[in-house]
């Protein structure tokens, strides 16, 4: 059978050349400043109209500027500073009346009224699944799926049980701690979760988003710290028990370059025709999910989109040029629009007062820490049982599901000194996040 051809790659950062401080969003900085100045003048004279093109331009320019600034700060950039700047700085400026109100209105309308959230999430779901190697989903998936599924279920069970036992509440512990901890970060995790919760529970997406973000931020920080602990413990290559440390090799008896588990870099290189095909196929999958949701409203449309994309890939239904087209569209959205989405979320969906109260809540912080530790240990044990190395599975699956994705993945593999595990971190974020959304779709009717 013909093997999936690895697509061309693009850097995970929205910056074209991360080491070139003179470029922002791939543009020489004078040109970026010129574009930003046009937006600033329109804001200053009150000439902004609340339209899709204005909102889109605003979030793209602001998001990429903030991400670029975060990428230039040593150390802190490894702890998710670019993401945090995009999502937290705009609402902080709004809180102290330092963010133009007319610009905030345009961004809020674009993010919440134009369907930008669905546009982004649908692109990530279709692209991340359809660009996965078919062999991974079929041949190698069973072995890797065992620790991945075990981690997700264990975190849900442990955090939910402790939440019920200590008065935090079983439902809130599941929805606002366990799910965001292992949900794959903000863009592919907290954002679709907030939409799902708004459809199934009381409250708006903004209310739920403010309750989801603290767990994501705290879990990401703890994941990086634990990765550093693993890196230190294994520096002298001590085997505390058979199968403990593989020094970057995941499978016992395997190699660092096992083709069965190889995940291609995020694809790019599509031009106008393929990009249009990728957008149309992405939209069709999203609409298909909405159709099934119309007849089975208990399960969110995102879940049906995930299942449809997975089935198309597993049964090899789509021709190669269509999967490559979706991959190109996914590479564009994930690589260029993530900072834009984060700015939109920060302006329109984050309530800083609620965020602050949750971050100062000892019970919330304790449950988040328990969730990360549970994922770390259960991943290692489950992986060891299927002949994977304990530390490597703990990092790739346990910490891969609990970090923020993107910069979180880079920080975890760097801190643990296991750069070879980066492809597996992508599996944990992409497939793990999709599994969490799927699980939530089935649980929400019972938690309302």
Max mean pLDDT among 3-12, 172-181, 311-320 falls in: 172-181
Query: What is the DSSP code string of 201-249?
Result: SSS-HHHHHHHHHHHHHHHHHHHHHHHHHHHHHTTT---SSTTS--TT-
Judge whether residue 337 has pLDDT over 50.
yes
Listed residues 113, 141, 165: the one ending a domain: 113
Query: What separation in angstroms does the CA of 205 have from each of 20, 173, 349?
Result: 37, 18, 7
Tokens matching residue 187: 């863009």
Whether the Cβ atoms of residue 443 and residue 183 lie closer than 8 Å to each other: no
Query: What separation in angstroms does the CA of 323 have from each of 65, 127, 261, 383?
Result: 31, 8, 19, 31
- Residues 178, 326, single domain; the answer is yes
- Residues 52, 64, single domain; the answer is yes
Structure confidence at residue 8 as a pLDDT band (50, 70, 90): very low
Tens of pLDDT along 148-170? 999 999 999 999 999 999 999 99
| Of 78-82, 165-169, 436-440, the least confident | 78-82
Q: Does the residue 327 lie in any domain?
A: yes
Q: Does the residue 13 lie in any domain?
A: no
Quick one: average pLDDT of 327-348?
A: 84
Q: Does the residue 1 lie in any domain?
A: no
pLDDT higher for 131 or 104? 104
Listed residues 77, 92, 113: the one ending a domain: 113
- Residues 264, 175, single domain; the answer is yes
So what's the pLDDT on residue 266?
61
Judge whether residue 188 has pLDDT over 80.
no
Q: What is the rounded distance in angstroms from the CA atom of residue 210 to the CA atom of residue 313?
A: 35
How confident is the prediction for the chain on average, in pLDDT? 84
Judge whether residue 240 has pLDDT over 60.
yes
Listed residues 113, 135, 160: the one ending a domain: 113
Q: Does the residue 390 lie in any domain?
A: yes
- Residues 61, 210, single domain; the answer is no
Q: What is the rounded distance in angstroms from the CA atom of residue 436 to the CA atom of residue 286?
A: 18
Residue 27: strand pairing partners: 24
Judge whether residue 261 has pLDDT over 70.
no
So what's the pLDDT on residue 304?
87
Domain housing 53: 23-113
- Residues 108, 124, single domain; the answer is no
- Report which DSSP code applies to 186: I
- Residue 288, H or E segment: helix 272-295
| Of 151-165, 170-184, 196-210, 243-257, the least confident | 243-257
- Residues 238, 379, single domain; the answer is yes
Judge whether residue 374 has pLDDT over 70.
yes
Q: What is the rounded distance in angstroms from the CA atom of residue 135 to the CA atom of residue 13?
A: 27
- State the CB neighbour count (10 A cutoff) for residue 119: 16
- Residues 366, 417, single domain; the answer is yes
- Residues 277, 410, single domain; the answer is yes
Judge whether residue 132 has pLDDT over 70.
yes
So what's the pLDDT on residue 407?
62
What's the Rg (C-alpha) of the chain?
A: 21
- Residues 131, 88, single domain; the answer is no
CA dihedral 23, 28, 34, 37 (to 10 degrees): 10
Q: Does the residue 376 lie in any domain?
A: yes
Q: What is the rounded distance in angstroms from the CA atom of residue 396 to the CA atom of residue 425?
A: 5
Query: What is the DSSP code string of 394-406?
Result: IIIIIIHHHS-ST
Tens of pLDDT along 20-58? 667 888 888 999 999 999 999 999 999 988 899 999 999
- Residues 100, 140, single domain; the answer is no
Closest CA to 420 of 389, 444, 448, 379: 389
Q: Does the residue 2 lie in any domain?
A: no
| Of 59-68, 105-114, 298-307, the least confident | 298-307
| Of 148-152, 253-257, 338-342, 389-393, the least confident | 253-257
Q: Does the residue 16 lie in any domain?
A: no
Closest CA to 359 of 88, 59, 90, 35: 88
So what's the pLDDT on residue 33?
94
Q: Does the residue 12 lie in any domain?
A: no
Judge whether residue 333 has pLDDT over 50.
yes
Which of left, alpha, beta for 54 (phi over 0: left; psi -120 to 50: alpha)?
A: alpha
Q: What is the rounded distance in angstroms from the CA atom of residue 341 to the CA atom of residue 358?
A: 23
Long-range contacts of 380-384, Cβ-Cβ distance < 8 Å, separation of 24 or more: 382/146, 382/147, 382/150, 382/151, 383/146, 383/147, 383/250, 384/243
How many domains would you assign to the chain? 2
Max mean pLDDT among 15-19, 202-206, 281-285 falls in: 281-285
| Of 18-32, 263-277, 280-294, 352-366, the least confident | 263-277
Whether the Cβ atoms of residue 425 and residue 409 lie closer than 8 Å to each other: yes
Judge whether residue 277 has pLDDT over 50.
yes
- Residues 45, 179, single domain; the answer is no
So what's the pLDDT on residue 6?
36
Angle at 374 between CA 373 and CA 377, to 5 degrees: 85
- Residues 366, 418, single domain; the answer is yes
Structure confidence at residue 228 as a pLDDT band (50, 70, 90): confident
Quick one: average pLDDT of 436-441?
A: 91
Structure confidence at residue 60 as a pLDDT band (50, 70, 90): very high
Structure confidence at residue 79 as a pLDDT band (50, 70, 90): low
């Amino acid at each position: 059978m013909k093997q999936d051809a690895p697509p061309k790659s693009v850097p995970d950062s929205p910056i074209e050349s991360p080491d070139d401080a003179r470029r922002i969003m791939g543009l020489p900085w004078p040109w970026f400043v010129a574009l930003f100045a046009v937006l600033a003048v329109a804001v200053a004279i009150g000439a902004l109209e609340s339209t899709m093109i204005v909102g889109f331009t605003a979030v793209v320019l602001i998001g990429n500027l903030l991400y670029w600034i975060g990428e230039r700060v040593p150390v802190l950039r490894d702890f998710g500073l670019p993401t945090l700047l995009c999502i937290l700085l705009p609402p902080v400026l709004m809180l102290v009346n330092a963010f133009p109100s007319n610009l905030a209105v345009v961004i809020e309308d674009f993010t919440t009224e134009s369907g930008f959230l669905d546009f982004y999430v649908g692109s990530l779901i279709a692209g991340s699944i359809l660009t996965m190697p078919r062999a991974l989903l079929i041949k190698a998936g069973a072995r890797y799926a065992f620790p991945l599924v075990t981690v997700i279920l264990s975190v849900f069970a442990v955090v939910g049980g402790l939440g019920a036992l200590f008065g935090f509440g079983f439902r809130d512990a599941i929805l606002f701690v366990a799910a965001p901890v292992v949900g794959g970060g903000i863009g592919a995790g907290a954002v679709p979760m907030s939409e799902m919760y708004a459809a199934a529970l009381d409250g708006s997406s903004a209310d739920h988003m403010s309750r989801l973000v603290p767990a994501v931020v705290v879990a990401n920080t703890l994941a990086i710290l634990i990765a550093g602990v693993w890196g230190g413990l294994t520096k002298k290559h001590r085997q505390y028990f058979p199968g403990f440390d593989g020094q970057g090799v995941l499978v016992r008896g395997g190699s660092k370059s096992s083709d069965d588990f190889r995940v291609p870099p995020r694809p790019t290189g599509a031009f106008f025709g393929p990009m249009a095909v990728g957008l149309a196929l992405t939209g069709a999958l999203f609409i298909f999910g909405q159709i099934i949701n119309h007849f089975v409203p208990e399960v969110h449309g995102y879940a049906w989109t995930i299942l449809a994309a997975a089935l198309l890939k597993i049964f090899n239904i789509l021709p190669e040029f269509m999967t490559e087209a979706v991959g190109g569209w996914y590479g564009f959205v994930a690589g260029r629009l993530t900072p834009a989405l984060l700015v939109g979320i920060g302006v329109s969906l984050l309530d800083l007062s609620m965020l602050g109260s949750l971050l100062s809540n000892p019970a919330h912080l304790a449950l988040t820490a328990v969730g990360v530790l549970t994922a770390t240990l259960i991943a290692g044990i489950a992986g060891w049982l299927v002949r994977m190395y304990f530390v490597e599975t703990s990092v790739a699956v346990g910490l891969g599901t609990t970090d923020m994705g993107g910069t979180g993945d880079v920080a975890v593999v760097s801190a643990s000194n296991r750069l070879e595990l980066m492809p597996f971190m992508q599996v944990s974020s992409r497939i793990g996040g999709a599994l969490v959304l799927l699980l939530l779709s089935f649980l929400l009717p019972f938690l309302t």
